[in-house]
Structure 1
Amino acid sequence: KAWSLENFDIGRALGKGKFGSVYLARERQTKFILALKVLFKKQLEKAGVEHQLRREVEIQSHLRHPNILRLYGYFHDAARVYLILEFAPKGELYGELQRCGTFDDQRSATYIMELADALNYCHSKNVIHRDIKPENLLLGANGELKIADFGWSVHTPSSRRSTLCGTLDYLPPEMIEGKTHDEKVDLWSLGVLCYEFLVGRPPFETKTHEETYRKISRVEFTYPAHVSEGSRDLINRLLKHNPMHRLPIQQVLVHPWVVENS
C-alpha cells in the first residue's frame, strides 16, 4: 500500500533525535495506534546516511519477532522520510532502570531471555549488531522488551551517553581495537547489559574515554557483593576478550540462571 501523511492523525511527540522526531499517530481508517518517525532528508544527506537508512529499513521491515519493534512501512515527501513503527506504550527501558536503580534477578533474566531470543532470530537471518543498550530498548504493553533501534543512523540520541566516552560502554574489544567483527559482538553487549540491569551502571564505565578503553580491552571489572553467583557465571561467560570463547546465544537461552529466574 502507498502511504502518505493524509493517512494519519498526528499526536504528541514521543522523542526527538538528531535527524527528526517520533510522534504518536493513528491510522485514520482503522484507528490503529502507531509511532511515526519523521526524518529530514536534508539532515540525512548532510550526514551521508541515506544509504545506511535505506539498508536498515529494508532489514527492519522483514523482521518479525515479538521482541523486535515492527516497522510496518515507510513513505516520503519532498523534505522528509516517514517510518511507520509499532508503538511501545511503556516507553524506554532506560527510564525504567533510572527509576528503579537496579532490576532484580527475575526481571533481569526475563529481559535477557527476551533479548537473546530476538538476537538468535536476527542471527538466523544474518542480521548482526542490533546496537543493544538500554536507550535502544523499549517496553511493550505487557512490559515485554522490544529492540527498537535499526542502524546508528536513526538512533534517537538519548540525553544519556551523548559523549564519545558513553558510546564506548557497550563496544567489545574487537570493535574498539578496530578489528573485524561478527555477530559475537551481540554476545558481549548482552553481558554488559545483564551487568547494568543488576548493578545500575555498565561494567566498564569510567570518567575518561582512555580509561574505559583500557578496561574493555583488559576485560577489567568487578561485581558489587549483592550480585548473585548464577548471574556472575553468565556475565563472565559472555564478557570474554576472544569472541570465539563467548557463550553462544542458544546457550544463553538455556543457562541455569536465565531458566530459573525468567
Structure 2
Amino acid sequence: MGALCCRPQPIDFDGEVNLFHFILSRCVGKGAFGKVRVVEHKQTHKLYALKYINKSKCVKMKAVANVIQERRLLEEIDHPFIVNLRYAFQDDENCFFVLDLMLGGDLRFHLERLGALGEDIVRFYLAQLSSALAFLHENHIMHRDIKPDNILLDERGNAHLTDFNIAVHFGERRLTGVAGSMAYMAPEILNKRGYSSQIDWWSLGVCAYELIFGRRPFRGRSNSDLTYSISKDPLKWPEDADKKCSRAGMQILKGLLERDTTKRYGCKPHGEGFQELKRHPWFKSIDWDTLESKEQTPPFIPDAKKANFDASHELEELLLEDNPLKAKARKANKDNMSAEMRQMEEQFTSYDFKKMQRRSYYPHNQHLVSTATVTSSGVTSSRPGTPANDLRVDGITIHGGNGHSMEISGNDLEAVRGEKVLDQNYS
C-alpha cells in the first residue's frame, strides 16, 4: 500500500505546461533575482534553458512590470539570431521562461578569456546581430541593453541576442527614461533629449569596438567622467589599431559610433539603414542570402569539451541554495495576494510554442498574429530558425566578472563596470 501511495503522478503533457514537464540539470547562470539552468523536456527529450525568477525578489526590487513586459515581448519574437521563447509558466514561487539553449557561452566570457577577437569573427557576429536588430526594429522593439554579456553563441558559433528585460516597444514618441548598461548607452540617452531605436546601433558599435580591441571606446573613472566621454570625447584608436582592424572595419565602427543619429549607420528609416550597412565593403565576404539559414560556417567554434560558462554557479547551487528548485503543485490563494503578486499571477500567462501562435500585445503590431504556423505535428517557423539538432540556450548572464547584469538604483550605478539600470531618472 505504501508503495502505491508514493508512486509519482502521471504527467499530463496535453495540459498546460509546468515544471513537471522538465528534467532539471545543471545551473549555468545567475541574475539579480533569478537563475538559469539546463533542462530536458521529458516528452521530446529536447534541451532548453530554464530562466526562473523569484516572485518575492521581483516584487522587492520593483521589477514586476519588467518581467511581464519581457514575457510579452518574447512571445512575438521569432528570429534565428535571437534566443527565442519556447514555453512560459509560473508556480507559487517563480516565473519561468524556457528558452533556446546556447552552449557556446556569452561573448563576455570569451572576451575575458581571449583578450580580443579577430576582425573576421567580429564581422560575422555583427552581420548576424544586425539582422536581428533589423527584425526587432521592424516590429517596433528596441533592446536597450546590447553588450557582450547579452550575446550568446550556440555550439556551432552563431551569435544570438538575449535578455529582453528592459526592451520596449517604440512608436513615433521618443523615450526619455534612462535604461541600459551605462558604458554601452548612446549619448542621446545620457543627454535626456529623447531617443528611439537608433540607440541599439550605437551599443552594437561599442560592442564591436570592444571585441576587436579588447577595450571600450569611451571610459571614465566616475559616472560624470563616463557621461562626458560618451557625449563629447572624439573616437580614438589604439596604437596598434591598424594591425587588428582594416580601414573598412574602422569605417563601420566610426559609423556606428556617430553621435548624429541621422548619420549613424543602421539608422535610416524603413529598413534602409540595414540595407546600407549590408552594402558596405566591409561586409563583402558575408553571404547575406544564406546568413539567416545558418548555412555558413562560423569563423569561431566554441570548444565543446569545455564548459563555456562560470562553473561556480553550479557549485553555489549545490552548496549554498537553501531552497533548491523542484516541481511543486500549485497552492496559490489569490484572495491573500498582494497587488504585485496578483499582477504576476494574472499577466504572466502560460505559453507553449507547440500549441499557440505567437502574437503581439502592442497595438501597432496587431497585424502580427504569428511568425510560426501551427501544424498537427508541431510548429513550422515562417522564418529559418536554429536547426533542430542544435543545442540551444539562454542566459540571464552566464559568467562572472566585470560585465554582469544587475538591476540597481541610479545612485548605486557603478558606471565603469557597465551594469544595468532599469527605467529611471539618472543622476
Same fold (TM over 0.5): yes
Alignment equivalent of 2:191, drawn from 170, 177, 195: 177
Counterpart of 1:228 in structure 2 is 246
Kept in 2: contact 1:105–1:261 (CA 8 A)? no
Kept in 1: contact 2:143–2:164 (CA 8 A)? no
Cα deviation code 1:48-94 (max 9, x no counterpart): 22222112211112211111001112111111101111110111111
Q: Does 1:256 align with 2:281?
A: yes
Alignment equivalent of 2:54, drawn from 40, 44, 48: 40
- Alignment of structure 1 residues 7-26 onto 2, 5 Å: 7-26=21-40
| Aligned mates of 2:136, 2:284 — CA distance in 1 | 21
Letter in 1 for 2:214: G
Counterpart of 2:133 in structure 1 is 119
> Tell me, what secondary structure is at the counterpart of 2:197?
coil
Cα deviation code 1:207-227 (max 9, x no counterpart): 222221111111433112333
Cα deviation code 1:14-38 (max 9, x no counterpart): 1111111101100111111001111
| Aligned mates of 1:139, 1:197 — CA distance in 2 | 14
> Tell me, what secondary structure is at the counterpart of 1:169?
helix
Kept in 2: contact 1:39–1:82 (CA 8 A)? yes
Higher mean alpha-carbon deviation, 44-53 vs 68-77, is at 44-53
Question: Paired residues, what number?
Answer: 250
| Aligned mates of 2:160, 2:28 — CA distance in 1 | 16
Alignment equivalent of 1:89, drawn from 103, 120, 123: 103
Per-residue deviation at 1:254?
Answer: 2.2
Per-residue deviation at 1:258?
Answer: 2.3
Cα deviation code 1:170-229 (max 9, x no counterpart): 001110112211110011111111111110111112322222111111143311233321
Alignment equivalent of 1:217, drawn from 220, 226, 231: 231
Q: Which has the higher contact order (CA 8 A, sep 6+)?
A: 2
> What percent identity do the matched residue pairs reach?
29
| Aligned mates of 2:264, 2:191 — CA distance in 1 | 17
Is the helix fraction higher in 1 or 2? 1
Higher mean alpha-carbon deviation, 172-181 vs 111-120, is at 172-181
- In structure 2, the CA distance between the partners of 1:208 and 1:130, relative to structure 1 (3 Å rule), is closer
Higher mean alpha-carbon deviation, 101-110 vs 46-55, is at 46-55
Counterpart of 1:242 in structure 2 is 260
| Aligned mates of 2:158, 2:212 — CA distance in 1 | 18
Kept in 2: contact 1:44–1:50 (CA 8 A)? yes
> Tell me, what secondary structure is at the counterpart of 2:35?
strand
Counterpart of 1:161 in structure 2 is none
Extract structure 1 runs of 4+ deviating beyond 6 A. none
Kept in 1: contact 2:107–2:148 (CA 8 A)? yes
> Tell me, what secondary structure is at the counterpart of 2:25?
strand
| Aligned mates of 1:26, 1:233 — CA distance in 2 | 44
Q: Does 1:195 align with 2:209?
A: yes
| Aligned mates of 1:3, 1:261 — CA distance in 2 | 40
Counterpart of 2:334 in structure 1 is none
Per-residue deviation at 1:244?
Answer: 1.8
Letter in 2 for 1:174: E
> Tell me, what secondary structure is at the counterpart of 2:39?
strand
Higher mean alpha-carbon deviation, 26-35 vs 232-241, is at 232-241
Counterpart of 2:309 in structure 1 is none
| Aligned mates of 1:117, 1:59 — CA distance in 2 | 18
Higher mean alpha-carbon deviation, 210-219 vs 16-25, is at 210-219
Letter in 2 for 1:46: K
User: Which consecutive unaligned segments of at least 5 residues does structure 2 have?
Assistant: 1-14, 168-179, 267-272, 288-427
Kept in 2: contact 1:67–1:145 (CA 8 A)? yes
Letter in 2 for 1:189: S
> Tell me, what secondary structure is at the counterpart of 1:38?
strand
User: Which consecutive unaligned segments of at least 5 residues does structure 1 have?
Assistant: 154-165
Letter in 1 for 2:164: F
Kept in 2: contact 1:219–1:240 (CA 8 A)? no
Higher mean alpha-carbon deviation, 225-234 vs 3-12, is at 225-234
Please say which structure displays the higher CA radius of gyration.
2
